[in-house]
Amino acid sequence: MNPAPTSPAGAVPLPATGAWREGDPPGRRRWHRRMRPLALEAGGVLPRLRLAFETWGRLAPDRSNAVLVLHALTGDSHVAGAAGPGHPTPGWWDALVGPGRALDTDRWFVVAPNVLGGCQGSTGPASTGPGGRPWGGAFPRLTQRDQVRAEVGLADALGIGRWALVVGGSMGGMRALEWAVGEPGRVAALLLLACPAAASADQIAWATSQVHAIRADPLWQGGDYHDGGPGRGPHAGLGIARRMAHVTYRSAGELQTRFGHAPQEGEQPLLGGRYRVESYLDHQADKLVRRFDAASYVALAEAMNTHDIGRGRGGPRAALGGVLARTVVAGVDSDRLYPLAQQEELAAGISSADRVRVVRSPYGHDGFLLETDQVGALVRELLDTAPRPPRARATP
């Protein structure tokens, strides 16, 4: 039996899930509700769904200044702003969004949804299913295309016929690419960061191993743990998955430089204590289990495994040839999870992409999140040449 994970004080077990639940503070979230069924690519139907989203800036009268920002696996709609009620962490790209920043909210209307299958306000395994209980293990299998179709509904509800820019990294980049291929007339400009045309065997292997770690937790219960009491969620399995993933998100050089072979202060590995890098991974795992849901992690990781822009479209090259948007493709030079060769394939296949832009960073895959000056320059490269929209107004 797994020990019940506790709060920092060591007294109160964590809730079964770190998902946002009904009754929690809404924070800056708004909701788009789709009341008709969404047929799913792998079969099955979501009878209805909702997407949580946040916005910054104002929509222009002609609705030409909207920018769609798509988050990675454990991200959410809170791209910018402080942590607070309803938002357990600060904005994950806060340095890019705001007046005078790359996504200048005096000019651009920025929209960020929580992905379908996520756990921060959108329909996912932790949300209420048709029977009035959490979906849990009955939540249907999703693909990136299903998620984008849900986001198309959000755009329609906002009256946005064409995005001035769609930007995403990692899993968000997969969805950004699906937008540009599946809805080519609705994407004026496209920024793809640290993502592939199709998930590789290596990426599927890592993700599948993480999914197995979660499902092996005795408290997984087939995914039906959400109504369990405090300490009754698969936190141990989710924590192991996060440790595995985080190693792939960082570079070997950075880990060696930061931690080397040193023991954690006050501990002796030869006597059962930890190395500094172990303590670091423990910290990353502890943070995630407090704000995320294990079943959402499984649903999103499996959706990422399905990513193949060429499926049913004549292969990746044919699909990429259909992109009409002005495109910048960028990768991180130290990324060992989504290596630059994958971004080179994208740039070679998209006629408007010219060369790959290289983000220089010691941090590995996480460089697309951390190197905000370099990423901001790529955003400006696309947006500074865009037509200036009319004076913006508040959205309905």
For 37, phi then psi, to 5°, come to: -65, 150
Cβ neighbours of residue 82 under 8 Å, at least 6 residues apart?
A: 90, 91
Q: What is the DSSP string of 296-337?
A: HHHHHHHHHHT-BTTTTTTSHHHHHTT--SEEEEEEETT-SS
Q: What are phi and psi for residue 214, nearest 5 degrees?
A: -70, -45
Give the C-alpha separation, 19 to 23, whole Å: 12
Tell me whether strands 189-193 and 326-332 are parallel, antiparallel or unpaired: parallel
How far apart are the C-alpha atoms of 216 and 84, rounded to whole Å? 33
Catalytic residue set? 170, 335, 365
Say how far apart CA 16 and CA 136 lie, in whole Å: 12
Helix (H, G, I), strand (E, B) or coil at 18: coil
Task: Tell which residue, 179, 221, 171, has the closest CA to residue 196.
Answer: 171
Mapping DSSP to helix (H, G, I), strand (E, B) and coil, where does residue 245 land?
Answer: helix
For residue 16, report the phi and psi dihedrals to the nearest 5 degrees: -60, -25
| Amino acid, single-letter form, for residue 133 | R
Measure Cα distances from 272 to 123, 188, 268, 279 in Å. Answer: 42, 56, 6, 13
Of how many residues is the chain composed? 396
